[in-house]
């Protein structure tokens, strides 16, 4: 098997119907993995499944992962060993300080922080079934550079949630390492996605100009990092927070 080959592996990507999740799912399929994608929107699941089927073996399971019950239901649909879990489903909310509502904390924290914890726990058995000393099972949490630096916009619960995801990644890496499961986080900068659409429409040129590499992220940038972490090439990496941002946060 090649250094970056995922042939024979099964991966689950939450929030896999659009944006970063779709980029990662397509990258996994192109590397030879079979992929399960999940989203709360059944229509989006079917549309993404149809689009991705040209790249390989993909199935779609609708689920709203903001509750533990739905995490358990999704986990119960996974058959056989699970080699890679990507906790990507997420939400954001922006509002001025004095107008920021309680609902913005509940929605964002439930999906961005609770979901990775409860879904990972629910799938431990499947991950351990796939794991070996030479080729651990992998958990990849999607954080954000807004969890590494103070964000420019008033997204209080989002930035706090992503900082929490980064710390949860390190805690789980320490605990699950002896079970032959690596846990890492990718901290994306600006990529074209529904979540970033309004920001890029308004400030895209300025954001690109502020990056040392002079552009926003492309699908291969995200897919390549996820494939690295999931392949033999990334088998000795755990507890890492990897910014994929063109240098925006890492060169401040």
The catalytically annotated residue of 28, 117, 118, 158 is 158
Q: Which residues on neighbouring strands pair with residue 71, listed in sequence order?
A: none
In the sheet that holds 84-87, the strands lie side by side as: 58-62, 34-39, 10-14, 84-87, 137-142, 181-188, 241-244
The backbone torsions φ and ψ at residue 71, rounded to the nearest 5 degrees and listed phi first, read -60, -45
Contact 175, 230 (CB under 8 A): no
SS3 14: strand
Is 158 a catalytic site residue? yes
Q: Which residue in the block uniquely carries the two structure tokens 């552009």? A: 215
131-to-138, 139, 230, 235 alpha-carbon distances in Å: 8, 11, 12, 11
Please, which residues have CB within 8 angstroms of residue 198's CB and are 6 or more apart in sequence? none
SS3 240: coil
Dig out the tokens for 224 from the structure: 């390549």
Which residues carry out catalysis?
158
């Amino acid at each position: 098997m090649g250094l970056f080959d995922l042939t024979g592996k099964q991966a689950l990507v939450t929030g896999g119907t659009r944006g970063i999740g779709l980029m990662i799912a397509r990258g996994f399929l192109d590397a030879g993995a079979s992929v399960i994608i999940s989203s709360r929107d059944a229509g989006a699941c079917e549309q993404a499944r149809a689009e991705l089927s040209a790249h390989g073996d993909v199935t779609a399971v609708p689920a709203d992962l903001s509750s533990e019950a739905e995490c358990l239901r999704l986990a119960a649909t996974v058959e056989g060993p699970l080699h890679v879990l990507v906790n990507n489903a997420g939400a954001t909310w922006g509002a001025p300080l004095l107008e920021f509502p309680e609902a913005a904390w509940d929605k964002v924290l439930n999906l961005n922080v609770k979901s990775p914890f409860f879904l990972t726990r629910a799938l431990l058995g499947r991950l351990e079934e796939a794991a070996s000393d030479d080729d651990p099972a992998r958990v990849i949490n999607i954080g954000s550079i807004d969890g590494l630096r103070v964000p420019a916009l008033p997204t209080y619960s989002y930035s706090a949630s992503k900082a929490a995801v980064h710390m949860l990644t390190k805690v789980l890496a320490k605990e699950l390492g002896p079970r032959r499961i690596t846990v890492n986080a990718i901290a994306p900068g600006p990529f074209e996605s529904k979540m970033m659409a309004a920001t890029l429409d308004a400030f895209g040129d300025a954001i690109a100009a502020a990056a040392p590499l002079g552009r926003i992220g492309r699908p291969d940038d995200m897919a390549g990092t996820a494939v690295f972490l999931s392949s033999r090439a990334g088998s000795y990496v755990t507890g890492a927070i990897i910014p994929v941002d063109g240098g925006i946060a890492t060169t401040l």
